[in-house]
């Protein structure tokens, strides 16, 4: 698929960056239809379906939080964030930066060809606007995502999920969310529809520039009932929490109790964070009580982790390829033969609620047969 002639938008709060980004995109044969600062972008422009991609470069993300919220809520095209400092057009650093930038833009606008996978029927969720939730947390975060379609209603908590589940208490289920290019918008859609009271926590590994982690944290927490947390040293993942994995520091999960350790050493391999590493850590600790969902992204990170998850008896799912901004990472996971489900972000959320409800029902049946368990124990592992 050729990208020449397609329209892109640039939004930056730095005049020099706007000029450099425009020249780089023009050299790819793209048409820069909008090149402006965040305070001048209208909601009508954000919703313009003729825009094929948004390139965002902000020096002060906190100042433009309202714009970022509107962008994730309203844009119909994929978003590219977190390219670090844009060098001057005639500088020595520009050529190296341009190669990386061109690769990402090309991948964003020419996603991998999708393969045919049988559809699984998911009940339709009514399309209504969710109430706003003010984000407030001290976590690391960022964005490079694909924007949502229309806001969906939050999924109802199944009636059989009972018990004294305390938000923040150790989660009986801890699932890994992995994403790269195009992932944050999809992850936001997934989290936004999950219900309050679902006894699960998440560890979220996102390939992104470290400088943009605070933006990710803010945007993801805006409408979700889940609390965004920094993946901190000697912490456990709690019910109703999303722990965002650091970009520059490797993590480890204790095999005996799931406590997370953050090490002062970089990630090994090509990816930071290394999603496969995170998947292996939680597979070895939680076994079948974990799982992984791989969203839009470049490269083949998560494919090794998918095998470790599957070997531990855990589920591995992926975002449906034709809904990804970049499908290569989910496609690589499918290629391992270990993925058991594919869906839109909302379908993935619905499936997760279904599987937790099903396993909770199994636990109720065990309890009825007189086993020494208590479903009211907030750390009971289904």
255 DSSP assignment: T
Query: Are residues 21 and 86 in contact, defined by beta-carbon separation less than 8 angstroms?
Result: yes
C-alpha of 282 from chain center? 17
Active-site residue among 13, 192, 301, 304? 301
**Distances in Å between the alpha carbon of 261 and those of 126, 216, 235, 258?**
41, 22, 7, 9
301 in catalytic set: yes
**Candidate list 207, 217, 243, 249, residue with the active-site label:** 207
What sections of 221-302 are H helices per DSSP?
275-286
How far, in Å, CA of 239 to CA of 247, rounded?
23
Catalytic residue check, 207: yes
Catalytic residue among 12, 144, 180, 339: 180
Task: Count Cα atoms within 13 angstroms, Cβ side, for 312.
Answer: 24
What is the three-class DSSP state of 146? strand
Q: Is the dihedral of CA 140, 299, 259, 342 positive or negative?
A: positive
Token pair of 4, please? 């020449």
Q: Is 164 helix (H, G, I), strand (E, B) or coil?
A: coil
> Which pair of structure tokens corresponds to residue 131?
């109430």
Give the torsion through C-alpha atoms of 82, 10, 112, 305, to 10 deg. Answer: 10
- Establish whether 223 is a catalytic residue: no
Give, rounded to a whole angstrom, the gap between the first and last alpha carbons of the chain.
Answer: 47
Query: What does DSSP assign to residue 170?
Result: B
| Coil vs helix vs strand at 253 | strand
Q: Residues of 305-340 as b/e, b for ≥16 C-beta within 10 angstroms?
A: bbbbbbebebbbbbbbbebbbbbbbbbbbbebebbe
Which residues belong to the active site?
A: 180, 207, 301
């Amino acid at each position: 698929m050729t990208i020449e002639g397609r329209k892109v938008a640039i939004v930056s709060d730095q005049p020099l960056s706007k000029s450099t980004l425009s020249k780089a995109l023009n050299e790819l044969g793209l048409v820069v239809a909008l090149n402006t600062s965040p305070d001048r972008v209208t909601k009508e422009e954000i919703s313009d379906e003729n825009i094929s991609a948004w390139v965002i470069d902000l020096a002060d993300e906190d100042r433009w939080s309202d714009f970022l919220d509107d962008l994730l809520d309203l844009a119909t095209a994929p978003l590219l964030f977190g390219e670090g400092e844009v060098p001057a057009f005639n500088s020595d650093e520009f050529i190296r930066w341009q190669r990386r930038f061109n690769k990402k833009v090309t991948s964003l606008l020419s996603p991998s060809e999708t393969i045919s996978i049988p559809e699984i029927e998911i009940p339709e969720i009514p399309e209504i606007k969710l109430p706003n939730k003010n984000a407030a947390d001290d976590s690391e975060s960022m964005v490079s995502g694909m924007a949502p379609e229309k806001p969906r209603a939050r999924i109802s908590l199944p009636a059989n999920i009972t018990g004294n589940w305390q938000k923040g208490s150790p989660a009986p289920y801890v699932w890994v969310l992995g994403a790269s290019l195009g992932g944050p918008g999809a992850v936001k859609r997934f989290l936004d529809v999950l219900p309050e009271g679902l006894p699960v926590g998440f560890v979220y590994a996102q390939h992104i520039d470290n400088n943009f982690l605070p933006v990710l944290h803010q945007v993801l927490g805006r409408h979700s009932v889940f609390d965004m947390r920094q993946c901190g040293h000697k912490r456990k993942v709690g019910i109703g929490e999303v722990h965002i994995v650091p970009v520059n520091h490797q993590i480890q999960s204790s095999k005996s109790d799931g406590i997370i350790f953050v090490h002062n050493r970089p990630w090994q391999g090509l990816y930071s964070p290394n999603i496969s590493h995170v998947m292996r850590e939680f597979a070895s600790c939680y076994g079948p009580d974990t799982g992984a969902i791989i969203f839009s992204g470049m490269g083949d990170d998560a494919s090794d982790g998918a095998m470790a998850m599957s070997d531990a008896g855990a589920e591995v799912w992926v975002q449906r390829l034709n809904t990804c901004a970049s499908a290569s990472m989910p496609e690589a996971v499918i290629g391992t033969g270990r993925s058991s489900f594919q869906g839109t972000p909302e379908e993935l959320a619905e499936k997760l609620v279904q599987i937790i409800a099903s396993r909770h029902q199994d636990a109720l049946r065990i309890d009825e047969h007189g086993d020494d368990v208590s479903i009211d124990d907030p750390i009971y592992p289904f």
